[in-house]
Amino acid sequence: MIVVSELNARRGAFSLKNINLEVQKGSTMVIIGPNGCGKTTLLECIAGLQKVDSGNIIIDGVDVTHLPPEKRGVGYVPADYALFPNMTAWKNIWIAFKKSKGLELNDLYKIIRLLQINDLLNKRVECLSSGQKQRVAIARALALKPSTLLLDEPCSALDPPTKEAFRRGVSDLLKEIFHEFDIPVLYVTHDLLEATAVGDKIALMNHGRIEQVGPINEVFESPRSKFVAEFLGFNVLNGRVISSFTTGILIDIGGVVLNAECQGGLSEDVRDVFVVIKPQDVVLLPTKEGLGLKWRNCHCNILSGVARRIYLEGSTAKAEVEVGDVVLKATLSLEYFDEFDIKPGREVFVYIRASKVQVIPRTKTGEG
């Protein structure tokens, strides 16, 4: 188990501020955020490669905050993998194994088997692909029999086809291995699809702070700040509360009025808000009659707009729709997109359930 409490650290002009997180054994927490937000610095603090100014790092009940890296029981896989290129994969792994405390040879062979690298052992690292190097580097880290595993952007060197293969299958393999060895894993990335494929929990970082941490589904369903919602790719709109009642509120967004279900309403003094809507919850139809029976009695916002930019991304279609002066992003399945023949310049009706409209009070600094 890893517990990081009130951690502060400086690196030049940059600093980590009041970092708090906890990762249980057998669980993977993904640290995600834009470039330069402090993800790698946080891992290096835990690994003992970066000095900590204040706070505590506890691994398996031991305070390792001021211990040297070799006494922390940490397996660390940096973004460049840091393998010895002129050695074979086996020699890279064997060097780590000889330093381990208590790992049996049978356990080492199990790691090799689970990571499916048997055929790579006698190959020099410089002859391996990026995906193969990734698995060898993870095997080397596990060969140390660490109390915790840290992975810093392990997919950053993968080409697009290999990264797609990772999302389809290798991510399940890694999950199995992490659970098999029953150690906490911290996994850094800036890729949302990668994060959802690997993690149990997610922590979003911004400017050296953790903005939100929790189970992945919970964070995606209820972002707590403007930054988190924007990073997740949601619609984030400036709004002003027109009226508030027990079960919901009416909000003016640039001349467009939306109804949001909000149990208990908002505090009476809240007027300026951010309105958050997932693109998947913006439903587009060419007519008002197209939704079918299941939507007939729903508490629903119905708006008229014009489809503008439309592009394909994998198995989905992305669309931008103008509703008055407001632009909304929508995500549609390709089947849905083809069925209703939605094209740029075409008038469409926009349906948004009131229960899918989230509201975040805007603070004096302009952030939620």
Q: Cα separation of 120 and 17, whole Å?
A: 42
Quick check: is 368 in a domain? no
Q: What share of the chain is helix, strand, coil (3-state, %, to 5)?
A: 30, 35, 35
Q: Cα separation of 305 and 321, whole Å?
A: 6
For residues 165 and 77, membership in a common domain is answered with: yes
Pick the closest to residue 152 from 186, 188, 196 (CA basis). Answer: 188
CB 359 within 8 Å of CB 262: yes
Strands lying side by side in the sheet with 2-11: 14-23, 2-11, 54-59, 62-63
Q: Cα separation of 211 and 219, whole Å?
A: 11
For residues 141 and 71, membership in a common domain is answered with: yes
What's the CA angle centered on 14, arms 11 and 15, to 5 degrees? Answer: 80
Tokens 């992490």 correspond to: 178
Q: What is the pLDDT of residue 368?
A: 62
Q: What is the pLDDT of residue 146?
A: 94
Quick check: is 367 in a domain? no
DSSP-assigned beta bridge partners for residue 240: 252, 272
State the CB neighbour count (10 A cutoff) for residue 118: 10
Quick check: is 345 in a domain? yes
Those residues with Cβ within 8 angstroms of residue 199's Cβ, 6 or more apart along the chain or in another chain:
28, 29, 30, 187, 216
For residues 180 and 131, membership in a common domain is answered with: yes
State the CB neighbour count (10 A cutoff) for residue 343: 12
- Which of 164, 190, 221 is a domain's end point? 221
Give the CATH number for residue 269.
Answer: 2.40.50.100
**DSSP tag of 124:** B
For residues 276 and 144, membership in a common domain is answered with: no
For residues 292 and 186, membership in a common domain is answered with: no
Q: For the chain, 368 residues long, give each residue's pLDDT as a single digit of tens.
A: 999 999 999 999 999 999 999 999 989 999 999 999 999 999 999 999 999 999 999 999 999 999 999 999 999 999 899 999 999 999 999 999 999 988 899 999 999 998 889 999 999 999 999 889 989 999 999 999 999 999 998 877 666 666 666 666 656 777 777 778 889 999 999 888 888 888 899 999 999 999 999 999 999 999 999 999 999 999 999 999 998 877 789 999 999 999 998 755 567 778 899 999 999 999 998 877 666 555 666 788 999 999 999 988 877 889 999 999 999 999 988 887 777 778 889 999 999 999 999 999 987 544 66
Residue type, 157: A
Helices (H) and strands (E) in the chain, counts: 10, 20
CB 9 within 8 Å of CB 16: yes
**Host domain of residue 256:** 228-361
Q: What is the pLDDT of residue 316?
A: 87
Pick the closest to residue 284 from 324, 250, 329 (CA basis). Answer: 329
Tokens of 318: 């992305």
In DSSP notation, 150-203 reads: EEESTTTT--HHHHHHIIIIIHHHHHHHHHHHT--EEEEES-HHHHHHH-SEEE
Tokens of 84: 């010895």
For residues 32 and 135, membership in a common domain is answered with: yes
Quick check: is 102 in a domain? yes
- Which of 221, 244, 271 is a domain's end point? 221
- Cα 65 to Cα 59, 72, 154, 357: the distances in Å are 9, 9, 25, 43
For residues 17 and 80, membership in a common domain is answered with: yes
Pick the closest to residue 204 from 5, 4, 19 (CA basis). Answer: 19
Domain count of the fold of the chain: 2
- Cα 297 to Cα 28, 292, 293: the distances in Å are 41, 10, 8
Question: Taking the model in full, what pTM does it have?
Answer: 0.87
Quick check: is 81 in a domain? yes
In DSSP notation, 297-358 reads: TS-EEEEEEEEEEEEEETTEEEEEEEETTEEEEEEEEHHHHHHHT--TT-EEEEEEEGGG-E
- Which of 203, 221, 239 is a domain's end point? 221
Quick check: is 332 in a domain? yes
Q: Cα separation of 114 and 109, whole Å?
A: 9
Give the CATH number for residue 118.
Answer: 3.40.50.300
